[in-house]
Structure 1
Amino acid sequence: MTAKSPGGEATGLDKVIALAGRNHSDQQRSPHYISNVRIELAGDRAQVRANSLFAFVPSAPTPGRVAPEPFYAGGGTYRFDAVRTPDGWRFARVETAPLWTVGTLAP
């Protein structure tokens, strides 16, 4: 498994998990919404492209507000390579490419 994002690159499942942990903390929520998924299948391999919207929001409530406001948000694309294994389909590679952002990643 290989992952590439603005936060870095990693190869190997443990390193990919560590990369995600560095870029996503317990101090924030970071919903990612994925749409317009396009899959190009070629036997036991597939290339996937999708659009995404994401927001980074403090986990702590904001006094006087229904919910905290995002301090960072954006949109872009995801690209995945997938392979069929005896246990089913698995991602072999993921790459994110933001097209636009607002705010600052560190609150």
Structure 2
Amino acid sequence: MTTQLDDSAITVLIGRFFRTLNERRFEGDWAKEYFTDDVKAESPHGTAVGADAVRQSQQAVEDWAVVQYMNTDILIEGDEADADTATASWNSLMTHVHHQSTLGQLGEGLDPLFTVGGVWDVDLRRTADGWRFSRTSVRPIWMSGTAPQLPAAAE
């Protein structure tokens, strides 16, 4: 079971993580602020673990000229048997702006925006440095605009 202090810390972690993505602040060991070393990330781009999951998260942002992720309705559930683990989920509106070079490759006249409404589900683990994501999963519910060209293995 999480306390109000835990819930607040987890909510701040989520907010800081998405601010980092939106602002592309990937200096140094940026991921240690958000992920456990064995994090598992699941997305339409595929599934990755550990350092590969971190690279996947960063690459998913860098593939776009600009991103803005807005999140709401964060629900946090503590594990009654283990005070050091929790789950959280929230709704997310994820707006992506294609690079001009990508638009040129995909064809003229395309909308530069690709927008996704989805749900994030995460597992969290309390570490010596605070709460960290041990698993992230994003599930699109709806999409609008021209989707990215995913690698064949992820389609």
TM-score between both structures, scaled by the size of structure 2: 0.57
Deviation string 1:9-64 (CA, Å, 9 cap, x unpaired) is 1000x20122124323265111111110000012111010100001111467xxxx
Partner of 1:50: 90
Partner of 2:69: 32
Distance (whole Å) between structure 2 residues aligned to residue 7 and residue 92 of structure 1: 18
Q: Which runs of 5+ in 2 are unaligned?
A: 1-38, 101-110, 150-155
Partner of 1:2: 40
Greater share of strand residues, 1 or 2?
1
How big is the shift at 1:8? 1.2
Distance (whole Å) between structure 1 residues aligned to residue 78 and residue 67 of structure 2: 30
* Deviation beyond 6 Å, 4+ runs, structure 1: none
Matched-pair contact (CA < 8 Å) for 2:64–2:96: no
The percent identity for this pair of structures is 32
- The DSSP-based 3-state class of the residue aligned with 2:62 is coil
Partner of 1:83: 125
Q: Which runs of 5+ in 1 are unaligned?
A: 61-68
Summarize the alignment of residues 11-22 of structure 1 with structure 2, pairs less than 5 Å apart: 11-12=49-50, 14-22=51-59
TM-score between both structures, scaled by the size of structure 1: 0.80
Relative to structure 1, the CA distance from residue 27 to residue 53 in structure 2 (aligned partners, 3 Å threshold; closer, same or farther) is closer
Greater share of helix residues, 1 or 2?
2
